[in-house]
Structure 1
Amino acid sequence: MRLSLVTLTVGAFGIGMTEFVMMGILPDLSEAFSVSIPVAGYLIAAYAVGVVVGAPLLVGMLGSQPPKRLLIFFMIMFTLGNGISALSPNYITLLLMRFISGLPHGAFFGVGAVVATRLAEPGREARSISVMFAGLTIANIIGVPLGTYLGHTFGWRFTFLAVAIVGVLAIVSIRQWMPKLEPTPGASLRRDLKVFTRVEPWLIIGITMIGTGGLFAWFSYIAPLMTEVAGFSSEALTYILMIAGVGMAIGNFIGGRLADRSPLKAAQILLLNMAVVLIVLVVAVHYKPTALLVTFITGASAFALGAPLQMLMIRAAKGAEMLASSVTQGAFNVGNALGAYLGGVPIALGYGYTSPEWVGAGLALVGLAIALFAARYQRNDVAPAYAVVEAEG
């Protein structure tokens, strides 16, 4: 594996850790700031909003710069945001810092995905992207359980401090091993925005921000689901998150392989599978062995979507790949915010901690409906950029 791709993996590890560790320390933050679990969940939404705002804004403003310089700048922002989060004196301050920490998230992945395709061998672009996304899955195997352990044992501030340390490692590795790549010729915000005058990028955005909401409706509330419904102790959350993380890691590479064949078909299959698995989880979670098994399967099903959706957008946005790719990351985090918010609504109404799974299944099915429409749009030959590229491949 190329060290240049490993640098993207390290950055993705830090980003994945700070994004997903919130689910593990949500009860700790709820207790520390004397707020309810749904209100603590807004810290997840604030980060996601930061991603949505920062992804197109930062890439649009800085997209003409060399990719290596951009990646280093984004990781510096990320590291400072998480370091300052560790010092937050109250809930409102942490809410603001979560927003700021989220600003470089989508921009990093947007630029990183394009860099990964440039470094890949022909026909293996999606698998190269999946190497970057592997950082997210490794974060869920190692980083999130570690961050959860630190939060439970020493306090939530140590969790954010650990994330900041990973950010420093990412900066050093990018400076050392990432090759110098030329910026996109003639890149400008005005030119890049023209890609969004076409239909297919908007369909991909819809699939991403609604369909992936199913993942976040489940994962945002996995801690109370496993402790209050399945009956696990809070100490067992570390191992439960590791099981989910292993599932995500396996699903990520499966998604990369499927996407190199047909990213749109892969997205359809995976969205349907995610909806079914979330419904099964409602029953399975009442028994510890099946709760763990389906947690693994849910992680694999949901996280396999990353590479297919990213490849769809890159293929649909020739000439404006970095901006469009970063917008896809923004859409992922609209799904994060949407899933966290909508998943919390039935909990607040008293329907229990299994109710977010029904919300998640519904979101996945809506995403599937959009993906099926996109396939019909492709068959009708209404100028789908990614269909042309797939036909040539």
Structure 2
Amino acid sequence: HAIFWSITAAIAIRVAPEGKKALALSVLATGTSLAMVLGVPLGRLVGQWFGWRATFGGIGGIAFIVFILQAKLLPTLPSMFEGSFRKIPELLKNPLLVCLYLLILLVFTAHYTAYSYIEPFMRQVGSVSENSATFVLLLFGVAGIVGSVIFSRWGDRFNTRLMLISTILMLFSMLVLLFVVTSIWALSLIALLWGAALMLLIISMQAKVIMVDVNAQDMLMSMFSGIINLGIGTGALFGGYAVTHLSLSSVGYVGAAIASVALLLMLYM
């Protein structure tokens, strides 16, 4: 999984037609959003009909077809990176890259502090029904597609502004989470804002990171992917501490506090 994500964005940019690099990243993000929305429901459906083994077998079969298509359709793309791991200290001397990586860590920590516990938060704090909770989570995934479409239109020209607006929207969404959880309509609106902002922020940061050094894109994206995974784990950990030592209703505020640090870092940058 980590290896896949470390090279996929770089490949998408390299095979994209001239002037379509933002669109290529957007299409990649749209696929990710669709997978988040459709993956679990489809897997559950197949499992209910044919048993859970059929779900895994189906994934294996589809992956094999994709493997054949990639072998046939992708051009030969030798690595642009000719260095070694000694390149890492050199890359990390770039203050912009270090700040971007720190920003990525903060954003994902903030997001997963709240989002890791969003379903029990909705069910227990807001008394949201199981079907309504599923609907809100689907909306969150669909909103990611909206974010990727916005980036495809304006990502090349307004990358920094989009990052700033997305961070503010994420901060706002987590801040008002406790107030809107009792209204399914307000909660749905926040899910749309939050989901679109997160996806927009991910692609915008990815586009910035990947252009720091065009000769080391694979390594840049490897570290990008690793930091995202670190942020996911750290966020779940912080959210767990918030649930244990404060209350389940506090996860939005704790996530917002971390997001505010991310916003301050972005303004500093």
Residue in structure 2 matched with residue 370 of structure 1 by the alignment: 265
Structure 1 residue 199, shift from structure 2 partner: 1.5
Aligned residue number for residue 243 of structure 1: 139
Q: 1:200 to 1:147 in 2, by over 3 A?
A: same
Shift of 1:169: 4.0
- Amino acid in structure 1 at the alignment position of 2:10: V
CA offsets per residue over residues 33-72 of structure 1, 9 Å max, x none? xxxxxxxxxxxxxxxxxxxxxxxxxxxxxxxxxxxxxxxx
Counterpart for residue 306 of structure 1: 202
> What is the aligned partner in structure 2 of residue 176 from structure 1?
72
- Could you say which residue in structure 2 is the equivalent of 1:359? 254
Change (3 A) 1:240 1:342: same
- The match for 2:117 is 221
Aligned partners of 1:144 and 1:241 also within 8 Å: no
Residues 209-257 of structure 1 deviation map (CA, whole Å, 9 limit, x = unaligned): 1122222223212221222233333344443322111111111222344
**Residues 122 and 244 of structure 1: CA distance in aligned 2, closer, same or farther (over 3 Å):** same
The residue type paired with residue 95 of structure 2 is V
For structure 2, the residue ranges without an aligned partner over 5 or more in a row are none
The 1:340/1:164 distance shift into structure 2, 3 A limit, reads farther
Query: Identical aligned pairs, as a percentage?
Result: 27
Secondary structure at the counterpart of residue 115 of structure 1 = helix
Indicate how the Cα distance of structure 1 residues 348 and 163 shifts in structure 2: closer, same or farther if over 3 A, else same. Answer: farther
CA–CA distance in 2 between the matches of 1:371 and 1:211?
Answer: 11
CA distance, structure 1, for counterparts of residue 184 and residue 63 of structure 2: 36
Contact 2:151–2:204 (Cα < 8 Å) also in 1: yes
Mapping for residues 63-78 of structure 1, pairs under 5 Å:
none
Q: Where does residue 270 of structure 1 map in the other structure?
A: 166
Determine the C-alpha separation between the residues in 2 that align with 1:230 and 1:148: 25
Q: Deviations over 1:324-370 (max 9, x none)?
A: 11211212222211211111211112512x32111221222211222
**Distance of 1:228 and 1:155 partners within structure 2:** 30
Measured in 1, the distance between the counterparts of 2:83 and 2:224 equals 18
Query: Aligned pair count?
Result: 269
* Aligned residue among 92, 98, 114 for 1:196: 92
State TM-score, norm by structure 1.
0.62
**8 A contact 2:104–2:227 mirrored in 1:** yes
CA distance in 2, matches of 1:145, 1:138: 11
Given the superposition, is the C-alpha separation of residues 149 and 274 from structure 1 closer, same or farther in structure 2, using an over 3 Å criterion?
A: farther
The one-character-per-residue Cα deviations of 1:84-134 (angstroms, maximum 9, x if unpaired) are: xxxxxxxxxxxxxxxxxxxxx232122111111112233432221121122
In structure 1, how many angstroms separate the alpha carbons of the residues matched to 2:50 and 2:137? 19
Counterpart position of 2:212: 316
By how many angstroms is 1:206 displaced?
0.5
* Letter of the 1:211 counterpart: V
In structure 2, the residue matched to 1:230 is 126
2:4 to 102, 108, 114: 108
Change (3 A) 1:255 1:340: farther
Amino acid across the alignment from 1:128: A
| Cα displacement (A) at 1:193 | 4.8
**Which residue in 2 is equivalent to 1:335?**
231
Find the residue that maps to 1:255 and give its secondary structure. helix
Q: Residue type matched to 1:183 in 2? A: S
> Which stretch of structure 1 is more off in the superposition, 134-143 or 145-154?
145-154
Q: Give the TM-score of the pair, scaled to structure 2.
A: 0.88
- Matched residues in 2 for 1:182 and 1:289: separation? 50
> Which residue of structure 2 aligns with residue 77 of structure 1?
none
The alignment's C-alpha RMSD in Å is 2.6
Higher relative contact order, chain-length normalized (CA < 8 Å, sep 6+): 2
1:315 shift after superposition: 1.4
Q: Aligned letter for 1:362?
A: A
Find the aligned partners of 2:81 and 2:101 in 1 and give their Cα distance: 25
